[in-house]
Amino acid sequence: MSTATTRGVRVDVSTRYVPEQSEPPRRWLFAYQVTIRNEGDETVQLLTREWIITNGEGKEETVRGAGVVGHQPTLAPGEGFQYVSACPLDTPVGTMRGHYGMRTSEGDDFNAAVAAFTLVDPMAVN
């Protein structure tokens, strides 16, 4: 589990390995659940995402896009948004980190951090 808070926007991420959709030794699939909660005092909208995905050999890939899973949620103070997505890797272990591009109702842009989290096939660490 990873947690980061930026300007009142809290981002929690939990992960799980998905063996039924993986094909070792070529491909491992990991699901991650993200909960974004506005703990601040201003309304914010998630506009963009940026992920830095690092495989077990240190190879990095950056993924950028609009919104998350087809949404650009607006969160008033106290509101939250949750989604599940997935990440394929070519190694049994890796990490992800990044940020969400946010905009306040006043038009102020900022990046809400997503703390690094680990993607790991439990059989790879035994």
- Interval 99-120: pLDDT, tens: 999 999 999 999 999 999 999 9
- Segments forming the whole domain that contains residue 59: 2-120
The reply to whether 126 falls in a domain is: no
Measured in degrees and rounded to the nearest 5, phi and psi for residue 28 equal: -120, 135
Q: How many domains does the chain have?
A: 1
The reply to whether 95 falls in a domain is: yes
pLDDT of residue 124: 87
The reply to whether 17 falls in a domain is: yes
The reply to whether 14 falls in a domain is: yes
70: left (phi over 0), alpha (psi -120 to 50) or beta: left
Each residue of 37-91: pLDDT tens digit?
A: 999 999 999 999 999 999 999 999 999 999 999 999 999 999 999 999 999 999 9
Judged against a pLDDT cut of 80, whether residue 126 lies above it is answered with no
The reply to whether 125 falls in a domain is: no
pLDDT of residue 99: 98
- Mean pLDDT of the residues in the chain: 97
pLDDT of residue 78: 98
| pLDDT confidence band for 7 (50 / 70 / 90) | very high
We report the CATH number of the domain holding residue 90 as 2.60.40.1470
The reply to whether 52 falls in a domain is: yes
C-alpha separations of 70 from 18, 19, 96, 113 in Å: 22, 26, 20, 20
The reply to whether 112 falls in a domain is: yes
Which pair of structure tokens corresponds to residue 112?
């809400």
